[in-house]
Amino acid sequence: MTKTDAPKQTLYSLQLLRAVAVILVVFSHIRHKQDVAAPLGTQWLDWFSIGEYGVDIFFVISGFIIAYISPEGRRNALEVLNFMMRRIIRIMPLYYTVTLIALAVWLVRPEMVNSSAPEMTVILPSFFLWPTEGRFLFQTGWTLSYEMYFYFLFGLTLFLGALQYRVLASYLALSILAGVLLEFRQPVLALVTNHHLAEFLAGYVFFRLASGQIGQQVGLGLGLIAAGTALIISHILMPGSVLAPLYHWGIPAMMLVFGFLLSEGTFKIPALLLKTGDSSYSIYLTHALVLPVLTKAWYMFAPQTAASNFGFIIYALASTLVIGFISYRFYETPVGKTLNGWWKKKYLAMSQPKGTASNNLQTS
């Protein structure tokens, strides 16, 4: 077993939060589809303005979990390569699959891709997650640009060993400050100085300062959960209030993630939510692909009434979850297992003296 393969305790509170996060995102897109397809006065989600917190939660979790699953200590170049390859295998196969599907649609019916946005659809940047003024073939992938950038920074600073925390945290803090002061418009500069990086930073810093308190501060954790939930509700009720800076910087998401971690083990989490958390990446990517089809199919036959529109919400949510579960079980998981197995053999072959890699494979 390699250094980066060390098993860690499953944090079920984070699985719950992943489920919450992806459902928030799905609801946000269901609302958008219903806004377009259904007449005013018959919609049910016109009040729903909190889908963005799903992305915020994902980013805070990413900042924490990457540090959580990575052993401390200085790494050599091969170990850093191993870290990056495992991140690429985790993220890119499913993203490339949905992007290729979007490309096929775009080649045949370009008006069906990014039809609601004025920006031009770009091809090559879509496959490299490169920031652009246009839109990716699969625009939901914009969040992955931030994920991969944070993974790159984390991997690069693994060379520093004990200095990693100070260097990475300082770099991110200064980058965010530069973004606040200079307000870059150029896409790459805008990404590397964006306020969303504060969410990765918060998750990372929490791990470094408070990981020993996971599950040990239930009272404080419940207080943070209540405060974060109250802020999200206030965003619905008072979107333009003096609390707007807290919404902008993802403070409610930070409170929720920190609160659930501090109270880990307190809640009995329903199996369906744990399954949704496990499948959250598949749900996140596939829902944006299938929602337009689901919407067209529903409104082709159903009347545009309030009752019908409520039915659409249930149908769309249930369908996207089921499709996500299927994608996770029959595509994301086996593809990831196959690619990780291939990479593990390559990694051991590169890291072990000739003739010993095969023996290590049998005992790892």
Q: In this structure, are residues 301 and 327 in contact, taking their beta carbons and an 8 Å threshold?
A: no
> In sequence order, which ranges of 194-332 are alpha helices (DSSP H)?
197-210, 218-237, 244-248, 251-262, 271-278, 280-301, 306-327
- The pLDDT, as a whole number, for residue 30 is 92
Output the furthest CA–CA distance in the chain (Å, rounded). Answer: 72
Cα–Cα distance, 140 to 153 (Å, whole number):
22
> In sequence order, which ranges of the chain are alpha helices (DSSP H)?
12-37, 52-69, 77-108, 124-128, 142-157, 164-182, 187-192, 197-210, 218-237, 244-248, 251-262, 271-278, 280-301, 306-327, 333-351, 357-363
Instruction: Give 86-126 pLDDT, tens digit per residue.
Output: 999 999 999 999 999 999 999 999 888 887 777 889 999 99
Structure tokens at 141: 């992938």
Range of the domain at 150: 3-363
Cα–Cα distance, 273 to 20 (Å, whole number):
8
- The pLDDT, as a whole number, for residue 156 is 95
Structure tokens at 277: 């958390």
Residue closest to 232 by CA, chosen among 50, 71, 109: 50
- Quick one: which H or E segment has residue 121? strand 121-122
Cα–Cα distance, 269 to 360 (Å, whole number):
38
- The pLDDT, as a whole number, for residue 7 is 56
Burial class (CB in 10 A: 0-12, 13-18, 19+), 58: buried
Cα three-residue angle 181-184-185, rounded to 5 degrees: 150
- The pLDDT, as a whole number, for residue 111 is 85
Cα three-residue angle 111-310-326, rounded to 5 degrees: 65
Q: In this structure, are residues 168 and 204 in contact, taking their beta carbons and an 8 Å threshold?
A: yes
| This model's pTM is above 0.75 | yes
In which residue ranges of the chain is pLDDT below 50? 1-6, 357-358, 360-364
- The pLDDT, as a whole number, for residue 34 is 85
Cα three-residue angle 217-223-227, rounded to 5 degrees: 145
CA distances from 202 to 99, 206, 254, 330 (A): 30, 6, 7, 34
The total number of structural domains in the chain stands at 1
